[in-house]
Amino acid sequence: MNRIVTLTTDFGLKDNFVGVVKGVILQKNPEAKIVDITHEISPQSILEAAFVINSAYSFFPSGTLHVVICDPGVGTRRRIIIVSTKKYLFLAPDNGVLSLVIKKEPPQKIINVSNHKFFLTPISSTFHGRDIFAPVAGYLSRGGKLTELGEVIANIKMLPLPQSEYKKNVIKTPVVYIDKFGNIITALSQKDWQEKVKKKNFQLHFEKKKLEISLKRAYADGEQGEIIALFGSSGFLELAINHGNAAQRLQVKTGTLLKIIPGS
C-alpha cells in the first residue's frame, strides 16, 4: 500500500517549510508520492483552506491522504485529527478546516492524534507541520494503522459557513473566494440557482454599485471587459471578466456581501 499524500498549507514557497515537511514524510516512507494542492492559503485563513480542499479532494484517486495544515493554534491544546471516509483520509488540525469536506464525505472514523511515538523529538511549539503532521503522514502513506496513532473520538470542530440568504426576490450571498485570475466565487450553488431562481440575468448590488449582469457559459462568452456571471468549475456562481480581473474592478474582497436581484 502506498497512498498518495496531498499537501494544502499556508506555508508559502519562499521558506523551506514545505521542503522540510516532504523530507520528513520521505524519511518515514521513501516511496511516498507527494502532490502539492497549494501552499498559498492566506496566512491562518481556516475558511479559505476549507474551501480550497473541498473543491480539490475528490479529484484524487481513492485512498489518497489529504493533509491540510492551516493551523493558527499550533503549539496550543487544539487537537490534530485524522478523519477517514469511504474513499479518503484527511489529516488536519481540529479547527474547522474540514467543515466543508465533512458535509460531503461522512466520517467513518475520527482519531485524535496523540501517540508521541510517531512524532519527531523534540517537538517544537511552532512547526507541527514538520514535527507531527509529516511523520504521521509518512506512516499513514505506507498503510499505517489509524488506531495506532491515537484514540477514536466522536466529533470534530465545525465552523459556521458562509451561507446565501433567500428572501422574496432578493438573494444575499457572501464572496467566498477570489482566484488568481480575479474571478469572484460566491456561496450560491448551481443546484440552488436551478431549483430556486432559474433566471438568465440579474441585478448585482453592493455598496453603491448597481450592475446588470447576464449568465454565460464560458469566460470567453463575455465581451472583452464585460462583467459576466457563470457557474464555475467548483459549482458556485462566479463573477468574472473576459481577459480581466473582476475582483480588482469591482473592489470586492472575501467576505463582501453581494445583493442579487434575479431578472428575466
Tell me which residues touch its own copies (CB under 8 A).
4, 6, 8, 11-20, 22-24, 26-27, 30, 33, 35-40, 43-44, 52-53, 55-56, 59-61, 64, 72-76, 124-127, 130-131, 179-181, 217-221, 230, 232-233, 238, 243
HEC assignment per residue over the chain: CCCEEEEEECCCCCCCHHHHHHHHHHHHCCCCEEEEEECCCCCCCHHHHHHHHHCCHHHCCCCCEEEEECCCCCCCCCCEEEEECCCCEEEEECCCCCHHHHHHCCCCEEEEECCHHHCCCCCCCCCHHHHHHHHHHHHHHCCCCHHHCEEEECCCCCCCCCCCEEECCEEEEEEEEECCCCCEEEEEEHHHHHHHHCCCEEEEEECCEEEEEEECCCHHHCCCCCEEEEECCCCEEEEEECCECHHHHHCCCCCCEEEEEECC
Cβ closer to its own copies: 91 or 110?
91
Min. distance of Cβ 18 from its own copies in angstroms?
7
Min. distance of Cβ 26 from its own copies in angstroms?
6
Min. distance of Cβ 109 from its own copies in angstroms?
23
Cβ closer to its own copies: 242 or 256?
242
Min. distance of Cβ 141 from its own copies in angstroms?
13
Cβ closer to its own copies: 23 or 255?
23
Cβ closer to its own copies: 24 or 83?
24
